[in-house]
Amino acid sequence: MPVNKKKYTELTEELKEKSIELVAVSKIQSVEDIYALYQEGQRDFGENYVQELVDKATQLPIDIRWHFIGHLQSNKVKFIAPLVYLIHGVDSLKLLNEINKQATKENKIIRCLLQVHVAQEESKFGLNEDELVNVLAEVKQKPANYANIFIAGIMGMASFSDNEEQVRGEFKFLKYLFDKYKDIVTPNCEFTTLSMGMSGDYKLAIEEGSTMVRIGSLLFGARK
């Protein structure tokens, strides 16, 4: 299925009015389809798999901002560190330390979002509130140890459910955490981004305060 340019135009106009960032989820999509959306003006693309991001980045324009939105293993960070703009799924202090280590080698600062687990599905990853607090405290107390990362906010995924009340409640909780801890501002941490909402629930997420949505199937069609 070719890129839905009409939907892209409608979506970007809708989001622009509300100052919400769009990450086009391009996992399993062809280089040709990504480039077609790039030609429409899209610059932020989200990938779930390390090797796929690496392969695509070598074939597409260098001004694309690559977002890693999947579950990231510490031993894979080195492969995307030279390429990635924002890592959405930081779900442990161990992973944050490895990102800082690889960013230092690349002489760059890698932007990160801390992933919070709010969904009912146990298969989804993320920190609970206590773990979130511990990560933020560590970064605040030892800023020199995290000089090459910047925590820009939090990310979360709601349950895959038709229960609108449940999904809305999970988004509300993410916004609550975002507001509760956004006053923790250090040289390498300032909450400006709340990444929540995908093709099926982004409107609810926006209503509950999302500043960044991750949209795939609405733009590219169902996964191939």
What is the domain-level CATH number for residue 149?
3.20.20.10
Average the pLDDT over 110-136 and give the result.
87
pLDDT band at 221 (very low <50, low <70, confident <90, very high): confident
What whole-number distance in Å separates Cα of residue 178 and Cα of residue 84? 23
With CA atoms as reference, report the closest residue to 146 among 90, 87, 91, 100: 100
Residue with tokens 């895959």: 160
How many structural domains are present in the chain? 1
Q: What is the pLDDT of residue 159?
A: 85
- Report whether 215 contacts 198 (CB < 8 A): yes
Query: Is the pTM value of this prediction over 0.75?
Result: yes
Task: Give me the percent of the chain exceeding a pLDDT of 90.
Answer: 82
Residue with tokens 């760059």: 108
66 — phi, psi (to 5°)? -85, 125
Give the bridge partners for 151, in sequence order. Answer: 112, 189
Q: What is the pLDDT of residue 130?
A: 94
pLDDT band at 108 (very low <50, low <70, confident <90, very high): very high
Q: Which two tokens stand for residue 133?
A: 């607090």
Range of the domain at 122: 5-220
User: Is 39's pLDDT higher than 90?
Assistant: yes
Q: Which two tokens stand for residue 57?
A: 């980045």
